[in-house]
Amino acid sequence: MSKYLFWIAVGVVAMVAYFYGAKAGRGRYREIRASIDAVWNDPKVKKARKKALKQAEAAAESAMKQAKKIGR
């Protein structure tokens, strides 16, 4: 039942987002997109993304080693 409610919630959020996006128009979309691009391409954010990726790879490698020890 919870999966059903989850997908209903996702559908409602998608419809609301579409409605407000269509109402705002293309100009507002471009403003939002420019803001997102500015943040995404910020040097500090790039550095944080690289650090997070390295940590995730290290965690995955550690998890694989632990799984091999357990025998799974």
Q: What is the pTM of this model?
A: 0.53
Q: pLDDT tens digit string along 39-67?
A: 999 999 999 999 999 999 999 999 999 99
- Burial profile 8-40: b = 16 or more Cβ within 10 angstroms, e = fewer: eeeeeeeeeeeeeeeeeeeeeeeeeeeeeeeee
Residue-wise pLDDT for 7-46, tens only, equals 888 988 888 888 877 776 777 778 878 998 999 999 999 9
Is residue 53 classed exposed, middle or buried when 0-12, 13-18 and 19+ CB atoms within 10 A define those classes?
exposed
